[in-house]
């Protein structure tokens, strides 16, 4: 994929996640995608990650990816952004995140996602 195609798939992916559009995310993911997070160091399959996203969409109905910065390299990308979400109790959480992705044939093949763990703990904290 060239730089323009990679940038387009990255934008489409993050827009779909922001909008809660699991169908588009599923189309963008390769069937054999691997998704890894620094918070648990577990590799997820496509179906596992889609289920995790669905649960996150329920828990955090309002979420945005702001200050998106994408750098493209041969076969992939690095995106830095600020994840902004509103918990059901009204608390707004801002958390810096970095994603390293691999792409091929118009799809994302791998995602390694690095969350700022303090923000992640606040997102996961029990509701009052």
Question: Does residue 10 register a pLDDT over 90?
Answer: yes
What mean pLDDT is predicted for residues 37-56?
95
Question: Does residue 127 register a pLDDT over 60?
Answer: no
Instruction: Choose the weakest-confidence range: 23-27, 83-87, 105-109.
Output: 83-87
pLDDT value for 21: 97
What mean pLDDT is predicted for residues 106-117?
94
More confident residue, 105 or 61: 105
Tallying the residues shown for the chain, one arrives at 128
Q: What is the mean pLDDT of the chain?
A: 92
Architecture of domain 3-124 in this structure: Roll (3.10)
pLDDT value for 60: 85
Q: pTM above the 0.75 mark?
A: yes
């Amino acid at each position: 994929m060239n730089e323009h195609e990679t940038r387009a798939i990255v934008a489409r992916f993050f827009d779909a996640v922001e909008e809660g559009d699991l169908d588009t995310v599923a189309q963008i993911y390769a069937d054999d995608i691997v998704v890894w997070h620094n918070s648990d160091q577990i590799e997820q399959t496509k179906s596992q990650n889609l289920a995790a996203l669905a649960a996150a969409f329920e828990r955090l109905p309002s979420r945005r990816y702001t200050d998106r910065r994408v750098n493209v390299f041969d076969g992939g990308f690095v995106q830095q952004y600020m994840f902004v979400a509103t918990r059901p109790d009204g608390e707004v959480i801002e958390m810096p995140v970095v994603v390293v992705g691999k792409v091929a044939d118009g799809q994302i093949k791998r995602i390694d996602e690095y969350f700022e763990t303090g923000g992640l703990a606040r997102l996961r904290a029990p509701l009052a």
